[in-house]
Amino acid sequence: MTTEPVLAAVDDDAAPLTHHQLRELYTLMAAVRHLDTSAVAWQRQGIIPAYAPELGQEAAQVGSGYAVDRTRDFVFPTYREMGVARAMGLDMVGYMSTHKATWHGGMYNPLESRFAPIQAVVAGSVLHAVGWAHGQTLAGQPTGEMGVAMTYFGDGASSQGDVHEAMNFAAVMKAPVVFFIQNNGWAISVPTERQVAGGSVAARAAGYGIPSLQVDGNDVVAVFEATRSAFAHCRAGNGPVVIEAMTYRRGPHSTADDPGRYRTLNEERLDAGEDPLERFKQRLLAEAIADEAFFAEAQRLAEEEEETIRRGIEDLGPRPGAEMFGLVFQEPTPALQSQATAWREESEHV
């Protein structure tokens, strides 16, 4: 469903995805699926203290992340964008370290990764995307080549006032921002119908004069194409776009959550729709783009990758306590330095 106003630069003539790209998308989704379900197991095994699964959102995350140009765009994630991170080629030990409780924002380099630190405040980084995007305008990026900010948030976060402020600012300033909403049906225990008046976040965009797309978030190709269109629109200097990817959070909100308290297994089966990974597999088979040997290989690669990442996570020791003090400021205050000295003397007995 597209609501007025429409995208000014839809990439209708953009080349369709090649078979190679389609297979690459599947490989990414398989890797994300396996890492995600493994991370839940890691938590149960005591390897990590907590995790926020994205099971069921692989198409929405991989499809959108695959459209990012890492030479000029910048992504602003929440705490449930592992699939985007993987699709963008992040250092995944660095990414998953946030769930090991090593460092809140993750251990990857956000500037080199073009992926902002993991954000625990719901809708906290939506405005940052607007500021970063306006910076591209101020820097005088030539039209057609502008860097684009893509900010992720969910149906729950869409209730935050910052989302309104961000959309309004972006529209007023014609900032190159893609607002990417994963409407996964649930904000912990609260369903979308108790969260989003009118039933659609995308529908709000019209009020800001922002073009919007509501896409099947479980169709990785549809998500990719929508995101690519949005990026083309932004790059051409036409201002922001809203994408609402309709998907389903198949797992719990986090490993500490118990969905049995607010939805039955039967409801989950009925509401979740088709599994995005299985659905894509059937399509690739039907179109003879991939065969069973390919899927087996994708699974083998996913398992190999998970093992490497798990070993990296297990090997991560705690950060030196001195970093608590050293990373607060670029120019530390005398009071903080004396606290660091006292801590060292009293904790390390030096």
Partner 1 sequence: MSETITAMPGTTDVSAASVHQMSMQQALNRALDEVLADNPKTVIFGEDCGRLGGVFRITDGLQAKHGEDRVFDTPLAESGILGMSVGLAMAGFHPIPEVQFDGFAYPAINQIVCQIARMNYRSRGTLPMPITLRVPSFGGIRAPEHHGESLEALFAHVPGLKVVSPSNPHDAYHLLKYAATRPDPVIFMEPKSRYWQKGPVNLSSAATEVSANDDGTAPSGSLTGARVAREGRHVTLVAWGAMVSRCLQVAELAAEDGIDIEVLDLRWLKPIDAEALARSVGKTRRAVVVHEAPLTSGLGAEVAQLITQSCFATLKAPVERVTGFDVPYPSGDLEDEYIPNIDRILFGIQRVLEYRRG
- CA atoms of 35 and 227, how far apart (whole Å): 24
- CA atoms of 213 and 210, how far apart (whole Å): 10
- Tell me if 304 contacts partner 1 by CB under 8 A: no
Nearer Cβ to partner 1 (107/221): 107
Size of the site for partner 1 (CB under 8 A): 44
Peptide bond into 5 cis (omega under 30): yes
Q: How far is the CB of 168 from partner 1 (least distance, A)?
A: 6
Nearer Cβ to partner 1 (1/322): 322
- Tell me if 136 contacts partner 1 by CB under 8 A: yes
Nearer Cβ to partner 1 (173/301): 173
Inter-residue contact 222 to 158 (CB < 8 Å) = no
Binding characters for partner 1, 161-200, by CB under 8 A (x = yes): xx--xx-xx--x----------------------------
Q: Give the DSSP H/E element, type plus range, for residue 243.
A: strand 241-246
- How far is Cα of residue 320 from the mean position of the Cα atoms in its chain? 29
- For residue 47, CA distances in Å to 88, 189, 318 come to 25, 26, 13
Q: How far is the CB of 106 from partner 1 (least distance, A)?
A: 9
Of the ranges 4-12, 56-64, 199-207, 334-342, which one interacts with partner 1 (CB under 8 A)? 334-342
Residue 191 neighbours by CB distance under 10 Å: 15
Inter-residue contact 53 to 271 (CB < 8 Å) = no
- How far is Cα of residue 1 from the mean position of the Cα atoms in its chain? 22
Q: Quick one: which of 253, 255, 211 has its CA closest to 234?
A: 211
Binding characters for partner 1, 11-40, by CB under 8 A (x = yes): ------------------------------
Using DSSP bridges, classify how beta strands 190-191 and 212-216 pair: parallel, antiparallel or unpaired: unpaired
Q: How far is the CB of 327 from partner 1 (least distance, A)?
A: 5
Nearer Cβ to partner 1 (129/277): 129
Please select the residue that binds partner 1; options are 190, 197, 296, 327, rule is CB under 8 A.
327
Q: How far is the CB of 161 from partner 1 (least distance, A)?
A: 7
Binding characters for partner 1, 90-129, by CB under 8 A (x = yes): -------------xxx-x-xxx----xx---x--xxxxxx
- CA atoms of 3 and 314, how far apart (whole Å): 48
Residue 236 neighbours by CB distance under 10 Å: 16
Q: Which residues are catalytic?
A: 249, 253, 262
Nearer Cβ to partner 1 (264/337): 337
The residue type of 321 is: G
Where do the H-state alpha helices sit in 139-218?
Answer: 161-173
Nearer Cβ to partner 1 (112/267): 112
- Tell me if 139 contacts partner 1 by CB under 8 A: yes
Q: How far is the CB of 157 from partner 1 (least distance, A)?
A: 13
C-alpha dihedral over 208, 210, 214, 218, to 10 degrees?
-110
**Structure tokens that stand for 286 in this block:** 């039907």
Inter-residue contact 54 to 81 (CB < 8 Å) = yes
Nearer Cβ to partner 1 (138/197): 138
Contacts to partner 1 from residues 36-75, by CB under 8 A: 74
Please select the residue that binds partner 1; options are 23, 134, 250, 310, rule is CB under 8 A.
134
Q: Interface residues with partner 1 (CB under 8 A)? A: 74, 103-105, 107, 109-111, 116-117, 121, 124-136, 138-139, 149, 161-162, 165-166, 168-169, 172, 323, 327-331, 333-336
